[in-house]
A and B are shown apart, each in its own frame.
Chain A
Amino acid sequence: MQKREIIKFQQVVKKYSGDITALNGVSFSVEQGELVFLAGHSGAGKSTIFKLIAGSELATSGSVVVNNVNLATLSQNNRTFIRQHIGMVFQDHKILYDRNVFDNVRLPLDIVGDYSEAEVKTRVVKALESVGLEHKINMTPERLSGGEQQRLCIARAIIHQPKILLADEPTANLDRANALKILELFKQFHQSGVTIIISAHDESLLSDYGKRIIRLNKGQFR
């Protein structure tokens, strides 16, 4: 049975103000349940691809289709709702330091808003268990190491069981051992059927996984 395309880029061009071209006619697709790596140096356009998938930016030309919806046809508010079905992991974690681990992880559930307090608790514990942080549930993020903060960010990204997980340079600030642990976590989530796109500038980390690698250079495929 042929798997359906969950993400499709067609001749996508993205220009920022000041005539900076981040993507220049990029076309690719990702099938449902696929694990794809995006490789390329800094400034190659990896983060722009994530922003376009998440709908926080719109393509200058070409089309970005996510889950059969052309994002250009949606209002800003509806693009926001698209993000509720996507898990996002950031290079700089984007953790909130004014609240503890539990409250950081529960944030996507609060945003969706369909969960009782008991459900929230169960899901947070489960998400933290899956990244090995359940014993740090009441800690403040400052007390976590870089690797733990990244795992916290992953727990927050998977708590609402998204169909798509985007990880923008999740291993960039980690040593090799921690980076491999993080990638192993993504591999486990992939086995549960989640579509995952991971970007990294260090290709040596990716080659062992035997998955498709999309290589970018200056906004174009290499």
Chain B
Amino acid sequence: MNFIYRQLRVFKHAWQIILSKPIEHFINLVALGLIISLCMTSLSVNKSMHVWEDTNIVYPQIYVYMDNQANDADLGVVQKLLTSSEHSREIANYKYVSKDEALHSVTADNDMKSIASEVISSDSNPLPDVFIVNTSTLDAKSLELLTKQLQATPMVDNVQIDVNYANKISDLISFASNISFAVQALLIGVLCLFVYNIIRLQMMLKSDAIKVSRLIGASDGFIMAPLLQYAFWQVSLATITGAVIQVLIAKQINGLFAHFTHLFSDKFVVNLLCVSDYFMIWLEIVAFALLSVFLAVRWVLNHTRIR
């Protein structure tokens, strides 16, 4: 029972600290919330990049451009090659885009209208029929062989493939991931320093009470307990604030990306984190904040002589 009384008293004391100076603590809360939201945004961008990579560019694509004079029989030869059992290991699926579909899509796209005005205004459709082949291997030799076979097929004008494209993108995303982790680590470091400084200032403001308490027998734990709870509530509220800010940031980023998202194959979207991610971030932040409080209290107490 006494344990409960003690905890309730510590809880009351922690909230007294927060409510005694609401404006200062609100500013601290917003600042902590911003740091946490940047951390969350960095994590969600990182996760979204991997999702985009997994759904779009795991393996290279082959673009098969047909000659303008190609007829249905020529197209049939290419289709036969793409569906043959010989290449079932290398080819996941393919998409055929006819010259008419391509022209229609160019005409319908306002952004493309100005760029492809000559194509649209010409009497005949100058666009070729195209096969977009999604491969299912990174083996350069077998992809090269497939490309050569496609190139050798009658009425095939051009075949384009960048075998190292997927690897390049993958390396780029790995690099971005590392940057993201570094940013997260940096932000957690900033958060720790911020909490450390808040606690140090709190203790300096209450230095008389701390000195008197120690003089009449207060242990370090007694002095630390309300500050630990104070930091716990402060960073917990800041995590909620950070999550809200992160949702707003994600909306803004997605709004900006919406205009040129078609450049990146399937739509790139900054996804929100799942509940377990938010929970893990909260746990991590609380742990680092409590460690910062512990270090700050130890530092101040070691530098406070009882007189």
Contacts and interface: CB of A to CB of B under 8 A. Distances in A.
Interface in B199-251: 206, 208-209, 211-220, 222
Using C-beta atoms within 8 Å of the partner chain, give the interface range for chain A.
Answer: 20 to 34
Interface of B: 1-2, 5-6, 9, 206, 208-209, 211-220, 222, 306-307
Contacts of A177: none
A78 to B, nearest CB: 10
A88 B222 contact: no
A147 interface: no
A54 B6 CA distance: 25
A80 B209 contact: no
B213 A111 contact: yes
B304 to A, nearest CB: 12
A117 B7 CA distance: 12
B213 A80 contact: no
Contact of B5 (A82, A107, A111, A115): A115
A111 B219 CA distance: 8
Contacts of A18: none
Contact of B216 (A97, A111, A113): A111
Contact of A117 (B5, B213, B218, B219): B5
Contact of B218 (A54, A80, A157): A80
Contact of A114 (B2, B214, B307): B2
Nearest to B219: A80
A145 interface: no
Interface in A66-120: 77, 80-86, 88, 94, 96-98, 107-108, 110-117
A54 B216 CA distance: 9
A107 B216 CA distance: 9
A94 B212 contact: yes
A138 interface: no
Contacts of A116: 1-2, 5
Q: What is the interface of chain B mostly: helix, strand, loop, or mixed?
A: helix
A86 B222 CA distance: 17
A191 interface: no
A97 B206 CA distance: 11
Complex A-B, nearest 5 residue pairs according to Cβ-Cβ distance, in ascending order: A83-B217, A84-B217, A56-B306, A111-B218, A113-B6
Given A56-B306, A113-B222, A115-B2, A83 B212 contact: no
B216 A108 contact: yes
A56 B307 CA distance: 8
Contacts of A115: 2, 5
Contacts of A108: 216-217
Nearest to B3: A113
B2 A107 contact: no
Contacts of B209: 96, 98
Contacts of A88: 215-216
Contact of B217 (A94, A98, A111, A114): A111
A77 B219 contact: yes
Contacts of A112: 217
Given A82-B217, A94-B212, 6 more contacts: A56-B215, A80-B220, A107-B213, A108-B217, A111-B219, A116-B2
A50 to B, nearest CB: 11
17 contacts: A80-B214, A80-B218, A81-B219, A82-B217, A84-B217, A85-B217, A94-B211, A94-B215, A97-B208, A98-B206, A107-B212, A110-B9, A110-B222, A111-B213, A111-B216, A113-B6, A157-B216
B106 to A, nearest CB: 74
B141 to A, nearest CB: 71
Contacts of B218: 80, 111
A113 B215 CA distance: 16
A117 B216 CA distance: 20
A214 B186 CA distance: 62
Most A CB within 10 A of own CB, among B1, B2, B206, B212? B212
Contacts of A77: 219-220
B201 to A, nearest CB: 15
A196 B57 CA distance: 84
A83 B215 contact: yes
A178 to B, nearest CB: 22
A107 to B, nearest CB: 7
